[in-house]
Structure 1
Amino acid sequence: MKIASLETFRAAVPLIKPFKTALRTVETAETIIVKMTCDNGITGWGEAPPTHVITGDSKDSIEGAVNGIIKPFLADQNLLNYESVFQGLNSILVGNSSAKAAVDMAVYDCLSQHAGLPLYQYLGGFKSEIETDFTVSVNSPVEMGEDAEKYINDGFNVLKVKVGKDVDTDLARIKEIRRRVGDGIKIRLDANQGWTPKEAVRIIRKMEDEGLGIELVEQPVHASDIQGLKQVTDSVDTLIMADESIFTPKQAFEVLQTRSADLINIKLMKAGGIYQAEKINALAEVCGVECMVGSMIETRLGITAAAHFAAAKKNITRFDFDAPLMLAKEIIQGGIHYSGRKITFAERTGLGITVVNQDEKGSKS
């Protein structure tokens, strides 16, 4: 099974409401779509959103990596020899994790279609239904409280709350949200590297003392500060999750070896796709550390690939797949199905993507 063509095109979808974190504000979801067509007629799909402040990838760099480097490498490859394909994909260029992830998705889509299985079953099939949290963007305490209340009324029972702007206001934000949603709702915090280690310890201890019931805190300190991450983990009772600190299996090994975090958030755009993400999850499982799978601001296409991977593995116990629910319009047909917080998988082979509508202003390569 060889590749007959590999194409990329751009798409852009406005968000219903701006998505705000300590690192950035997003009003439009911009993305690169990869379409892979094999010589047996199978078509596979992938996606790579440019997330400059996290992965360093831009639209131009993703397209350049896919069309200029990855495409020539794949030209003579048999996808059924997928170990060689994925090893090569991860060695022919450094970084460019989003470009690699998009192609990796498309390859897995083709392989699982060839096998006659939905991708989650091809990868292990541990679960056939999962539930997502919903993200509360960082705003004023009052606005965040109103948003949180709305999402709970919409049927979500786990909130991922963005903080990291400033410690004192962050505490006010969490108090307001907890006041509005009550004690029965899980609250996860994501500081997106916004605190120093001392600030993180101070605010997390304060939240513990005040009984705010925080399930976990994600990436409280700068990505490169593993010692600081460990300092926070060792100093509080609340679970601490590593996100931006871990792109590669080697980085995961370092965090796991030093017990610098209690949990790991795997994202395909950081890992470079499912092949490397499986390694990170396996390392974590051996160490008794559970994983969450999250995402960037992606369309249903990229989230479908991430959800298939997450559902396949026992050690992945938390799911952050709300991005498609934030978009003002749908450009993908097929893939995962949402019923409130519940996500199910179409009984189609591969990712189950049937149509990808190209944005009218998108460019094709």
Structure 2
Amino acid sequence: MMKIKNIEKFPLSLRPIKVGYRKEDKSSSVWASGVPSIIVRVNTDEGISGLGEATTMTWYFNETQEGMMKLLEFYEQLLIGEDPFDVVNAHCRMDLATGEDAPGCHSARAAIDMALYDIIGKAQDRPVYEVLGGAYRTEFEMLTNLYENTPEEKAKACKESVRKGFRALKIKVGDILLTEGWSMQNLRKEKDKLIAALEAVPPDIYVDADANQGWTNTKIAVNVVEELFQDKYYPNLSLEQPLHYLDISGHSYLRRSLRTPIILDESVLSPEAMLQIAKHDAADRIVLKLNRVGGFWPARKVISIAEAASIGISVDTMPFTKLGDTANCHLAATIKDPYPVDAEGHLWFDANPFRGGIEIRSGRAILSKEPGLGVELDEEILKRIIKTE
């Protein structure tokens, strides 16, 4: 029986070059100048190794690179000598350090889970999507996130993204509210950016208006959307997470009150949370993040519940490196309904320490048939961006 020998951990120093992210930490933007990330390599006694990624955002997930490193050290102590093929056992062992039902996000756990599936795929000479049960597709339409601050900038970015082939746009409509506080004036600024985006693109392009919980109140959200549709209806618009992540009943009220589809993201913490969303008819679609739920194993449970309830599923980047974005596509391959995938986060960074992985061409992400995740470390580039402090 193959056994886990050790777990190497490589903390990275990554700086996004994406428009809307801070150029330095003194900026008022909620989107941080640095993205805490740790690449793990799980080594086995038979010479097969698997790669995983723990990437987070401290403002968004309340995790730090130092905290993730501590958890990975705990997990290593619990997993040495264990069978990497026994994913269930690995999660049970990790539960001894961080309980399965503990509130919060699980980026470190997701990294271990990802690496185990990479090992299994390499050992069986199969891509991870086959290990997960098979693929509906291995080529994906894509979504991009847009953070521009003015209607004019937003419209220009939308047109450029469509020209590049993207079939879905995520428009941030909560950043001003989150940084400057709630007011009618700030809400108007958010709405003006959204209208500019909707007017700039054809009606067959998905536009997801992402409030990141910033609209706070159900009646306010209803009033905003109803006012938006006074002069024109936008059938391609969906509203993402306007309310607090625990406000499942509030989102259920919005779904009953509005024609606009409701998407939940921050609320999708676990399979158990997904069950509550389905029971309360609170979403038309969800956003699934591997690092939030803890890896492929729990993510597939979330997918099963959502699909049984006829709730759509979008897979989202953190932003991840190319490793995590490739893992996202392996997961997306197992989902029946082909919503555009958010897998271009790795392009937001100025360094890529990997070879292989997804290929992005004309706004589409393409998976190879390489074993495992199909990604290998470029040791020379890794040396240049590894965090040494």
- More displaced stretch, 310-319 vs 30-39: 310-319
Give CA deviations for 1:162-193 in whole Å, capped at 9, x if unaligned. Answer: 11234211221122223333434321211111
C-alpha deviation, 1:271, in angstroms: 0.4
Pick the aligned partner of 1:85 from 85, 90, 112. Answer: 90
Confirm or deny: 8 A CA contact 1:300 1:335 kept in the other structure: yes
Residues 208-260 of structure 1: CA deviation (Å, up to 9, x unaligned): 33223343111111112222211211110111011101211111111111111
Opposite residue 130 of structure 2, the aligned amino acid is Q
CA distance in 2, matches of 1:130, 1:258: 30
Q: Residue 39 of structure 1 is aligned with which of 29, 40, 45?
A: 45
Alignment-mate amino acid for residue 129 of structure 2: Y
* Matched residue, 1:173: 193
Is residue 14 of structure 1 aligned with residue 18 of structure 2? no
SS in 2 for 1:175: helix
Instruction: Provide the C-alpha distance between the structure 2 equivalents of 1:225 and 1:146, rounded to a whole number of angstroms.
Output: 34
Give aligned pairs, total: 364
Q: In the alignment, does 2:211 pair up with 1:191?
A: yes
Work out the CA distance in 2 between the residues paired with 1:28 and 1:53.
11
Residue in structure 1 matched with residue 323 of structure 2 by the alignment: 301
* Structure 1 unaligned blocks of 5 or more: none
What amino acid sits opposite 1:72 in the alignment? Q
Which residue pairs with 1:360 in the alignment? 384
Whole-Å Cα distance in 2 between the matches of residues 318 and 56 of structure 1?
27
Three-state SS of the structure 2 residue aligned to 1:17 is: coil
1:361 positional shift: 5.5
Q: Is the 8 A contact 1:158 1:186 kept in 2?
A: yes
Match of 1:113 in 2: 122
Within the candidate set 122, 125, 142, 2:152 is matched to 142
**Matched residue of 1:13: which SS?**
coil
Post-superposition shift, 1:316?
6.0
- Whether 1:54 aligns to 2:60 is yes
Output one character per residue of 1:269-293: Cα deviation in whole Å (capped at 9) or x when no partner. 1101110111111111121212111
**1:133 is matched with which residue?**
143
Give the CA deviation at 1:359. 5.0
SS in 2 for 1:264: strand
Residues in 1 aligned to 2:245 and 2:316: alpha-carbon distance in whole angstroms: 16
Measured on the aligned residues, the alpha-carbon RMSD in Å equals 2.2
TM-superposed CA distance for 1:87, in Å, is 3.0
The alignment-based identity, stated in percent, is: 27
Deviation (angstroms), 1:44 = 0.7
Runs of 4+ in structure 1 over 4 Å off: 20-23
Residue 23 (structure 1) shift? 7.9
- Equivalent residue number for residue 183 of structure 2: none
Deviation sequence 1:24-51 (CA, Å, 0-9, x none): 2233433111111111111111111132
Amino acid at match of 1:117: R
Does structure 1 residue 201 correspond to structure 2 residue 222? yes
- Which amino acid in 2 is paired with 1:178? L
1:276 aligns with 2:285: no
- The counterpart of 2:112, out of the listed 85, 92, 103, is 103
The answer as to 2:241 corresponding to 1:219 is yes
The Cα offsets for residues 102-133 of structure 1, whole Å up to 9 and x where unpaired, read as 11100111011111101112212221211211
Which range is displaced more, 145-154 or 277-286?
145-154
Deviations 1:296-330 (A, max 9, x none): 11111111111101112325634222212222332
Secondary structure of the equivalent of 1:319? coil
> Taking structure 2 as the reference length, what is the TM-score of the superposition?
0.87
**Is the 2:251–2:283 Cα contact (8 Å) retained in structure 1?**
yes
